Amino acid sequence: MKRNAFSSVALLIVLAFMGACNSDAWDELPSPIANFISQYFPFGELESYSEGDGYEIAKIKKGATLTFDSDYEWTDVNGNGAVLPQQFLYDKLPENLYRYLESVELQYSVYRVVRTSELITVDLLDTRITYNQKTGVISYPEGEGKTSSTISEEEN
């Protein structure tokens, strides 16, 4: 009898989780975006998915907004006030940028990452770091009215 009760409760929990997902939005996702979400935001519920002219946006309920280009490569991962997953940063940022964040103990303080063909911009709680993808130079502001500091790949 206990086994049947336990099985029933487990089944109800699984059904509740399955019903909590926005299956219509999930069904619309291209597989590279679905894989990205499954890998880096596995516990987030997909709130919405939309397509624009050359970009795709997936919104995680009470979580991140993810923007992808027409090749399904991420261009903007915005935690919307929550820090981004450590595994995403480790896997997707250039090694020397990630090592820099780690060296100043900021890898757990990243709220947004925006990537263009030239720059990667990393938003922290109260500052922004930019990484030039061509030169490997990391720049960050010193403070209001001051020039930015740069760290070359050799220094890092």
Contact 113, 120 (CB under 8 A): yes
pLDDT tens digits for range 48-101: 999 999 999 999 999 999 999 999 999 999 999 999 999 999 999 999 999 999
For the full predicted model, state whether its pTM sits above 0.85.
no
Question: Which residues lie closer than 8 Å to 25 by C-beta, 6 or more apart?
Answer: 46, 47, 48, 49, 58
pLDDT tens digits for range 90-143: 999 999 999 999 999 999 999 999 999 999 999 999 899 999 999 999 998 654
Helices (H), 21-116: 23-28, 31-40, 86-92, 95-103
Mean pLDDT, the chain, rounded, equals: 82
Contact 93, 107 (CB under 8 A): no
